[in-house]
C-alpha cells in the first residue's frame, strides 16, 4: 500500500494467531466468520461489523472462508472470550453458487482468483454448526443478508419447499437482521458486562427462540406457524405480507411464529442510523483493499467494482416486489453528510491506482437522499401501499437538490476528472422533480456512456405484479433523455434491465415485450430470468400463486420450457433462439409476427419450390437481383433472422452505426 494513500496507518484485523501475537494479544473478544474473502472495505458487511466492534474497544479476529469439511479451521484462532459472529457474506450463499436454472456457477467474485466453491451451500448453517462442534455453548450470533432474508419460515427455491427459520437450523442464540451495527454493539456490550446470551431478548433488529410469548418485550403480532405455512399456501401468503408490513422501525410490531414447540420471536427493526452515525461507520479506519494473503491467488475481483466508488445512502422506498432490499435495509432512507463523502473522495484521490474517475456515488438507489415523505419519520410507512407504484404517491418529495449539490462538490475536488453514477436510478422519481435540474446535470456530467435503468417489462399488468411504474413513465423518461443528449451533444445510451418469467407474466406478455423491443430497435445482450430469493413478495407469488397484497390468483411460469421461450423472445434475433421463438409465436397464435414486415420478429422458412411464401408481411420469393443470379446458376441464400440493427438503447440521432459497450446486469 502506498504510504501517501495510507494516511491513517491502518492495518488488517488479525487472521491468524501469529497476527494476534504481533499485536501482543493473549486473548481476543470476538471471532467473525465470513463466507467471503476478507476485504476490509465498507461495501462488505462483515468488514463494517468488525470495524464497528473494534471502534468500541473489542478485539476482533477474522476467519474468512474457512475449510468447512472439518473442525480444524474453526479452532485455528482459539476460543474467543465473548462470542462468535457468523455471516455467509455479501450475498446469499445459494445465489452465489447457483444460477436461476439451478446450475453451478463457474466463478465467484467474492472469492480469491474468482474461484467457486470456497464456501459451502447454506454457509451460515454450516459455519454455525461447526462452531458448536468446536466450542460448544459459546454465544453464536448470525447475521448478514442470508440470515436476514431467512429469519422467518421461508420458501427455498433450491429445495422447492418451505424451510424453517435459519435461526433453528444454525443452532444460533441470536439472529441479527438488517443493517446490524446498532444491534451488534448492544449485544457486545451486554456480553462484555456478563449478561448471559439467553437473557439478551429485547434488542431491536434481532430474533431469538423462546417457549413462551411472554419472553417478547414489545407489542406483538403472531403469524401462521411453520407447520401451517408449509402446508397451506394461503397461510404462507398472509404471513409473508405481515412480515413485510411490520418491517417498520417506527410503528412495526414484534412478530411471533411457532416452529413446533418453539417460538421464533422477531423483535421490531432497529432504527436507521442518523447522518452522524452513518458518517462514523463509513469513516472507520478501513484498509479498503483485500487482504494481501490473496495477492498470489489473483486478488478478489469484487473490489474492482467498489474501489473507487462511494456509498452515500441506505434503504430504498422503491420497494420492487422482487428485490430483497426492502426486507433487509428497509424502506426509510438515511444518508451521509456532504462533508463525509467529500472526505472519502479526497482520500481516494491519493490512492496510487486512482486515475481521476469516481465510478459511482450511489447506493441501493442512487438518487434517493431523503425519506419518501416527511410523514414516514413520525407515522411510519404506509401499509399495503407503495411510494412509487403503480403511480407515484402525491406525498412523495422528489427534490434532488441535496444530491445535486453533493455531486457538484465532488466534481470540484482537485484530482477528480469525472464523477459517474452507475448505481440504478429511479426514473419515475426523477420525472416527478419539477425543476429538471438534476436530470440535465446527470446527462451533462455523470453518465459514463451508459445509464442503467430498470423498466423491467412493458406490460402494465406484469409491472403491477413487479411493483414497478407503468411503461408510459419509462417512455417519457426515455424521450427526455434523448432530447437532453441531443441538446448537450452527447452520444450516451440507456441500458434498460428487463426480466422474463416474473409471476404474472404470460407467454402472450412475453411476445408483447418482444414486439415493444422490436419497435424500439432494441435487443438486450443480457436478460434476467426471475430468481426467487427468500423473503420477497415476488417469491411468495412464485410459491403460492397468490399476490399477498390482495390474495388474488397470479399466473406463475414455472415450467422450464415455458421460461426458456419467454427468455428467447427477448433475444429473438439470435439464430439459436429461433426454434423457441417460433414455437412461442405459434402457441400464442401470433404468426402475424413471422414475415418480412418491419413489425415481424422472424423471417419465414425458405418455401419449397413452386409454393407460395408464407403470410404475414409476405413478399415475392426473390428480389430482382436474385432472379438474375439464378439465371447465371448461382446459389441465393436468405437469412432466417433479421440483420443486426443498431445496438444503442435510446440512441441520439447523431450517428447511425455507433455501438455502445456491453451493459452488465
In the annotated binding site for [4Fe-4S] cluster, the residues are 316, 320, 323
Strands (DSSP E) found in 425-491: 450-456
Closest listed residue to residue 141, CA positions, set 256, 46, 210, 26: 46
Q: Is 299 helix (H, G, I), strand (E, B) or coil?
A: coil
CA distance 330 to 220: 19
In the chain, the N- to C-terminal Cα span, in Å, equals: 32
Annotated binding site: 316, 320, 323
CA distance 525 to 381: 38
DSSP designation for 229: H
CA distance 306 to 176: 25
Q: C-alpha distances in angstroms, 86 versus 266, 407, 661?
A: 18, 36, 39
The DSSP result for 600-648, as a single string, is -SBPPPPPPTTPPPPSSS---SS-HHHHHHHHTT------SSPPP----
CA distance 467 to 459: 12
Closest listed residue to residue 323, CA positions, set 530, 120, 593: 530
DSSP bridge pairs for 334: 314
CA distance 109 to 264: 34
Peptide bond into 390 cis (omega under 30): yes
What value, to the nearest 5°, has the Cα angle with vertex 520 and ends 516 and 525? 85
The burial of 57, by beta-carbon neighbours within 10 Å (0-12 exposed, 13-18 middle, 19 or more buried), is given as: exposed
CA distance 147 to 92: 8
Amino acid at each position: 500500500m502506498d504510504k501517501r494513500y495510507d494516511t491513517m496507518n491502518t492495518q488488517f484485523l488479525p487472521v491468524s494467531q501469529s497476527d494476534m501475537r504481533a499485536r501482543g494479544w493473549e486473548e481476543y473478544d470476538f471471532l467473525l466468520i465470513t463466507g467471503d474473502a476478507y476485504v476490509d472495505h465498507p461495501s462488505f458487511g462483515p468488514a463494517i461489523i468488525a470495524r464497528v466492534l473494534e471502534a468500541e474497544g473489542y478485539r476482533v479476529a477474522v476467519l474468512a472462508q474457512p475449510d468447512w469439511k472439518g473442525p480444524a479451521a474453526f479452532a485455528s484462532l482459539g476460543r474467543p472470550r465473548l462470542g462468535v459472529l457468523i455471516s455467509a457474506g455479501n450475498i446469499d450463499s445459494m445465489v452465489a453458487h447457483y444460477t436461476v436454472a439451478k446450475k453451478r456457477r463457474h466463478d465467484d467474485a467474492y472469492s480469491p482468483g474468482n474461484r467457486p466453491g470456497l464456501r459451502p451451500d447454506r454457509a451460515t448453517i454450516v459455519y454455525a454448526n461447526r462452531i458448536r462442534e468446536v466450542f460448544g455453548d459459546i454465544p453464536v450470533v448470525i447475521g448478514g443478508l442470508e440470515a436476514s432474508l431467512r429469519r422467518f419460515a421461508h420458501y427455498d427455491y433450491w429445495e422447492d419447499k418451505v424451510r424453517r427459520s435459519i435461526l433453528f437450523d444454525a443452532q444460533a442464540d441470536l439472529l441479527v437482521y438488517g443493517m446490524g451495527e446498532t444491534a451488534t454493539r448492544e449485544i457486545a456490550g451486554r456480553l462484555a458486562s456478563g449478561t448471559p446470551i439467553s437473557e439478551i431478548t429485547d434488542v431491536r433488529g434481532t430474533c431469538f427462540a423462546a417457549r413462551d410469548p411472554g419472553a417478547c418485550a414489545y407489542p406483538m403480532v403472531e403469524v401462521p406457524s411453520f407447520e401451517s405455512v408449509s402446508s397451506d399456501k394461503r397461510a404462507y401468503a398472509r404471513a409473508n405480507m405481515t412480515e413485510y408490513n411490520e418491517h417498520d422501525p417506527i410503528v412495526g410490531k414484534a412478530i411471533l411464529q411457532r416452529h413446533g414447540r418453539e417460538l421464533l420471536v422477531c423483535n421490531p427493526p432497529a432504527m436507521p442510523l442518523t447522518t452522524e452515525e452513518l458518517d462514523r461507520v463509513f469513516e472507520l479506519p478501513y484498509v479498503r483493499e483485500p487482504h494481501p494473503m490473496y495477492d498470489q491467488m489473483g486478488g478478489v475481483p469484487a473490489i474492482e467494482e467498489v474501489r473507487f466508488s462511494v456509498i452515500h445512502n441506505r434503504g430504498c422506498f422503491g420497494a420492487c416486489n422482487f428485490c430483497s432490499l426492502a426486507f433487509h435495509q428497509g424502506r426509510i432512507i438515511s444518508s451521509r453528510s456532504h462533508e463525509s463523502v467529500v472526505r472519502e473522495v479526497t482520500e481516494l484521490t491519493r490512492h496510487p491506482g486512482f486515475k481521476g474517475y469516481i465510478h459511482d456515488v450511489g447506493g441501493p438507489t442512487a438518487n434517493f437522499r431523503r425519506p419518501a415523505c416527511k410523514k414516514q419519520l413520525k407515522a411510519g410507512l404506509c401499509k399495503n401501499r407503495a411510494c412509487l407504484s403503480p403511480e407515484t404517491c402525491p406525498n412523495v418529495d422528489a427534490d434532488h437538490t441535496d444530491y445535486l449539490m453533493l455531486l457538484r462538490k465532488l466534481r470540484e475536488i482537485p484530482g477528480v476528472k469525472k464523477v459517474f453514477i452507475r448505481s440504478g436510478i429511479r426514473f419515475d422519481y426523477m420525472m416527478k422533480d419539477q425543476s429538471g435540474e438534476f436530470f440535465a446535470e446527470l446527462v451533462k456530467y455523470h453518465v459514463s456512456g451508459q445509464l442503467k435503468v430498470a423498466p423491467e417489462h412493458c406490460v402494465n399488468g406484469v409491472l403491477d405484479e413487479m411493483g414497478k411504474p407503468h411503461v408510459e413513465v419509462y417512455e417519457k423518461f426515455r424521450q427526455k433523455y434523448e432530447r437532453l443528449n441531443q441538446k448537450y451533444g452527447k452520444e450516451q445510451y440507456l441500458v434498460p434491465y428487463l426480466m422474463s418469467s416474473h409471476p404474472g407474466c404470460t407467454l402472450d406478455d412475453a411476445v408483447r415485450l418482444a414486439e415493444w423491443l422490436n419497435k424500439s430497435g432494441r435487443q438486450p445482450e443480457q436478460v434476467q430470468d426471475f430468481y426467487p430469493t427468500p423473503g420477497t413478495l415476488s417469491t411468495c407469488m412464485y410459491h403460492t400463486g397468490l399476490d399477498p397484497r390482495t390474495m388474488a390468483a397470479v399466473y406463475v411460469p414455472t415450467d422450464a420450457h415455458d421460461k426458456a421461450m419467454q427468455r428467447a423472445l427477448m433475444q429473438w434475433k439470435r439464430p439459436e433462439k429461433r426454434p423457441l421463438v417460433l414455437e412461442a409465436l405459434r402457441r400464442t397464435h401470433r404468426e402475424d409476427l413471422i414475415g418480412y414486415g418491419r413489425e415481424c420478429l422472424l423471417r419465414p422458412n425458405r418455401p419449397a419450390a413452386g409454393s407460395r411464401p408464407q403470410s404475414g408481411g409476405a413478399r415475392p420469393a426473390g428480389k430482382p437481383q436474385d432472379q438474375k443470379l439464378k439465371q447465371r446458376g448461382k446459389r441465393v441464400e436468405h437469412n432466417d433472422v433479421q440483420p443486426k440493427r443498431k445496438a444503442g438503447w435510446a440512441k441520439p440521432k447523431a450517428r447511425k452505426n455507433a455501438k455502445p459497450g456491453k451493459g452488465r446486469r
